[in-house]
């Protein structure tokens, strides 16, 4: 008891007496009572548990996310490494922890350091999902004027920001992609260590990439001395990266400051994914137009040609509209070459894929099906075409307002058989009641495909999910299909470590890489070889990853 500091409220009674002297102003009985009720609803009457869950009824947290947040707060006392595998929701866990601390009044000033490219996304997610009023740093506003700020470490460590930030006292520091500060000789590391902080969260999918000393450095930010001091650690574990598995003691220590969930041990694996590739052949007329477009390269860059070809693989409408737009733009040349192609597209019969969709839907029977396409024009066309065959459908777009999204979801659930979506829309639509999905055309970014599947294959899905991936033979879709989704076997292994593998290979954007290959290849043969090469590099990195990344579990 003598060690407990007691802070009294000194100003209440003085203010009350002043008001009595001045005869007011006073609160009415109604409002006075309500203020008391307001306090009662917002207090936290237990040391343990997550109050934040009550505050966020619109969020569907996965069990491992809730468990992780609890562990980080209750057992690790707010200093933790969150090291889930990619795709299991580290951001969600971090948001939940932040929210809990804010509700309990333990945290007010927060500094969030993330890679520059993720700053806006963090701000958006914290605001929309967690109602945490985070802001980005803007010039002319001093650092101490923000309560919750998201910025990049590169900005923060630069003078004069550095000095201003180091002067402040933060209640919580969060660092995303924390493996970037694992080297204790860098400016980043030194900067982070110098921050005044109460709580601290480090997010990384790869706490150890090369050497065990990396985990030592990360832990030293959170809990210096937890793994001994630098010299003794180096002496004992050297620069090996595998010893962590052999040393039960070290593993145990690390688990006291780090939570790592893997796909294998989350309940996501309860329902299975059945993935089937559906090959479609163009009709002879369609092939003719496709080849003609493929041969035409003069008027536009290869880049836009790829786009047109992809569109043609999706629907006549999608390609028609953008070609039309292209020739109507006076800055572009090539109307003479393109107009005949546009005319031919106008003459084409119904798209081979659309016909296949109807056939497949009839086979599936009465089940609910969600169809994803990349293009608005294809979405409209499909809706019309399905209606011609007596199949009811509703559209869905990321751009819909919240209310409209809910409404469409409800219509799909109660009335329509099919939902045709152009974009996963990120959040707000969970369709666990549906377990069939048709990927009418495939995104070139595997993350986006994973997001699509995540709409139905998520916590709460009780049935196996069936996913059909459409691709047209002898077109660029065939290359994409065989590279992304067969060679790399992305579906079976889920996306897992792709992020890290790409980082290791110094590939910034997978989609960009594929486009570049398409761009630079002068023949289909060359294209195929290059894509094959890319696939095998990724594959071999992936294999070595899987052997080595089983630390800390």
**Sign of the four-CA dihedral 66, 67, 68, 74:** positive
Question: Is the peptide bond preceding residue 522 cis, with omega within 30 degrees of 0?
Answer: no
Tokens representing 289 are 């137009």
Where do the H-state alpha helices sit in 141-246?
A: 153-156, 161-167, 187-194, 213-222, 230-237, 243-246
Element (H, E) at 419: strand 418-421
**Residues within window 171-200 making contact with other proteins, judged by CB under 8 A:** 193-194, 196-199
Where do the H-state alpha helices sit in 329-375?
A: 335-347, 352-364
Element (H, E) at 383: helix 376-388
Q: How far is the CB of 48 from other proteins (least distance, A)?
A: 7
Q: Which stretch binds other proteins (CB under 8 A): 32-40, 81-89, 116-124, 260-268?
A: 32-40
Q: How far is the CB of 11 from other proteins (least distance, A)?
A: 9
Where do the H-state alpha helices sit in 104-160?
A: 119-130, 153-156
DSSP 264: G
Q: Contact with other proteins (CB under 8 A): which of 116, 154, 224, 297?
A: 224
**Residues within window 204-223 making contact with other proteins, judged by CB under 8 A:** 220, 223
Using CB under 8 A as the binding rule, whether residue 55 contacts other proteins is answered as: yes
Nearer to other proteins, 108 or 274 (CB): 108
Q: How far is the CB of 392 from other proteins (least distance, A)?
A: 19
Tokens representing 472 are 């047209």
Tokens representing 258 are 């780090």
Q: How far is the CB of 15 from other proteins (least distance, A)?
A: 7
Q: Contact with other proteins (CB under 8 A): which of 9, 235, 330, 366?
A: 9
CA 28 vs CA 35, 280, 298, 448: distances in Å: 11, 73, 79, 55
Q: How far apart are CA 497 and CA 505, in angstroms?
A: 12
Give me the sheet containing 273-280, strands edge to edge.
Answer: 273-280, 465-472, 436-439, 369-372, 418-421, 393-396
Using CB under 8 A as the binding rule, whether residue 43 contacts other proteins is answered as: yes
Using CB under 8 A as the binding rule, whether residue 408 contacts other proteins is answered as: no
Q: How far is the CB of 134 from other proteins (least distance, A)?
A: 13
Q: How far apart are CA 329 and CA 322, in angstroms?
A: 11
Cα three-residue angle 14-20-21, rounded to 5 degrees: 90
Closest CA to 527 of 538, 540, 514, 536: 514
Using CB under 8 A as the binding rule, whether residue 525 contacts other proteins is answered as: no
Using CB under 8 A as the binding rule, whether residue 522 contacts other proteins is answered as: no
Nearer to other proteins, 122 or 470 (CB): 122
Using CB under 8 A as the binding rule, whether residue 57 contacts other proteins is answered as: yes
Closest CA to 99 of 126, 121, 76: 126
Q: Contact with other proteins (CB under 8 A): which of 42, 392, 509, 533?
A: 42
Q: Contact with other proteins (CB under 8 A): which of 54, 167, 367, 492?
A: 54
Nearer to other proteins, 19 or 389 (CB): 19
Using CB under 8 A as the binding rule, whether residue 73 contacts other proteins is answered as: yes
**Residues within window 85-144 making contact with other proteins, judged by CB under 8 A:** 104-106, 131, 133
Residue pair 208/237 in contact (Cβ under 8 Å)? The answer is no
CA 25 vs CA 21, 51, 345, 429: distances in Å: 11, 35, 77, 49
**Residues within window 427-456 making contact with other proteins, judged by CB under 8 A:** none
Where do the H-state alpha helices sit in 389-475?
A: 402-414, 446-456
Using CB under 8 A as the binding rule, whether residue 167 contacts other proteins is answered as: no
Nearer to other proteins, 70 or 466 (CB): 70
Q: Contact with other proteins (CB under 8 A): which of 139, 264, 401, 415?
A: 401
Q: How far is the CB of 131 from other proteins (least distance, A)?
A: 5
Using CB under 8 A as the binding rule, whether residue 39 contacts other proteins is answered as: yes
Q: How far apart are CA 282 and CA 471, in angstroms?
A: 10
Q: Which stretch binds other proteins (CB under 8 A): 13-21, 420-428, 466-474, 539-547?
A: 13-21
Nearer to other proteins, 56 or 306 (CB): 56
Q: How far apart are CA 314 and CA 347, in angstroms?
A: 16
Total chain residues near other proteins (CB under 8 A):
73
Q: How far is the CB of 536 from other proteins (least distance, A)?
A: 45
Q: Contact with other proteins (CB under 8 A): which of 184, 226, 243, 458?
A: 226
Q: Which stretch binds other proteins (CB under 8 A): 33-41, 116-124, 425-433, 487-495?
A: 33-41
Q: Site mask, other proteins, residues 312-351, x = CB under 8 A? A: ----------------------------------------
Please state whether beta strands 273-280 and 169-175 pair in parallel, antiparallel, or not at all (unpaired): unpaired
Using CB under 8 A as the binding rule, whether residue 145 contacts other proteins is answered as: no
Using CB under 8 A as the binding rule, whether residue 415 contacts other proteins is answered as: no
């Amino acid at each position: 008891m003598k060690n407990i500091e007691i802070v009294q409220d000194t100003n209440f009674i003085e203010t009350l007496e002043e008001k009595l002297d001045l005869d007011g102003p006073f609160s009415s009985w109604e409002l006075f009572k309500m203020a008391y009720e307001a306090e009662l609803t917002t207090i936290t009457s237990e040391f343990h548990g997550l109050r934040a869950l009550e505050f966020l009824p619109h969020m569907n947290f996965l069990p491992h996310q809730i468990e992780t947040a609890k562990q980080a707060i209750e057992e690790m006392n707010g200093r933790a490494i969150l090291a889930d595998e990619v795709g299991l929701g580290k951001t969600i866990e971090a948001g939940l922890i932040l929210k809990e601390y804010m509700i309990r009044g333990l945290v007010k000033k927060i500094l969030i350091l993330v890679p520059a490219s993720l700053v806006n996304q963090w701000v958006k997610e914290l605001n929309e999902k967690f109602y945490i009023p985070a802001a980005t740093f803007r010039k002319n506003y001093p650092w101490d004027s923000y309560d919750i700020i998201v910025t990049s470490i590169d900005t923060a460590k630069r003078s004069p920001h550095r000095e201003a930030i180091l002067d402040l006292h933060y209640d919580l520091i969060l660092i995303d992609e924390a493996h970037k500060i694992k080297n204790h000789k860098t400016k980043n590391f030194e900067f982070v260590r110098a921050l005044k902080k109460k709580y601290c969260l480090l997010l990384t999918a790869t706490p150890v990439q090369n050497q065990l000393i990396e985990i030592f450095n990360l832990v030293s930010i959170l809990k210096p001395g937890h793994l001994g001091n630098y010299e003794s650690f180096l002496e004992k574990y050297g620069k090996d990266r595998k010893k962590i598995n052999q040393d039960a003691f070290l593993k145990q220590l690390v688990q006291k400051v780090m939570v790592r969930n893997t796909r294998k041990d989350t309940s996501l694996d309860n329902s299975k994914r059945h993935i089937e590739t559906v090959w479609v052949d163009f009709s002879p007329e369609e092939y003719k137009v496709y080849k003609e477009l493929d041969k035409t390269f003069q008027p536009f860059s290869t880049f836009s040609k790829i786009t047109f070809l992809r569109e043609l693989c999706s629907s006549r409408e999608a390609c028609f509209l953008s070609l039309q737009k292209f020739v109507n733009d006076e800055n572009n040349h090539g109307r003479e070459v393109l107009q005949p192609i546009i005319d031919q597209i106008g003459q084409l019969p119904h798209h081979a894929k659309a016909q296949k969709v109807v056939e497949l839907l009839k086979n599936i029977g009465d089940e609910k099906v969600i169809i994803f396409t990349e293009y608005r024009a294809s979405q409209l066309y499909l809706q019309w075409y399905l209606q011609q065959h007596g199949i009811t459908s509703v559209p869905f777009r990321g751009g819909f307002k919240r209310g409209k999204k809910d409404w469409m979801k409800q219509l799909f659930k109660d009335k329509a058989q099919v939902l045709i979506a152009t974009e996963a829309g990120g959040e707000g639509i969970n369709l666990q009641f549906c377990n069939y999905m048709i990927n009418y055309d495939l995104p070139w970014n595997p993350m986006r495909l994973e997001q699509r599947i995540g709409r139905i294959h998520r916590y709460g899905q009780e049935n196996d999910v069936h996913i059909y991936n459409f691709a047209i033979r002898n077109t660029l879709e065939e290359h994409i299909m065989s590279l992304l989704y067969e060679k790399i076997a992305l579906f079976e292994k889920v996306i897992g470590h792709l992020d890290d593998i790409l980082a290791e290979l110094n590939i910034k954007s997978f989609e960009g890489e594929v486009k570049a290959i398409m761009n630079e290849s002068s023949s289909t043969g060359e294209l195929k070889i290059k894509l094959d090469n890319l696939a095998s590099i990724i594959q071999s990195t992936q294999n070595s990853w899987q052997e080595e990344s089983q630390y800390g579990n």
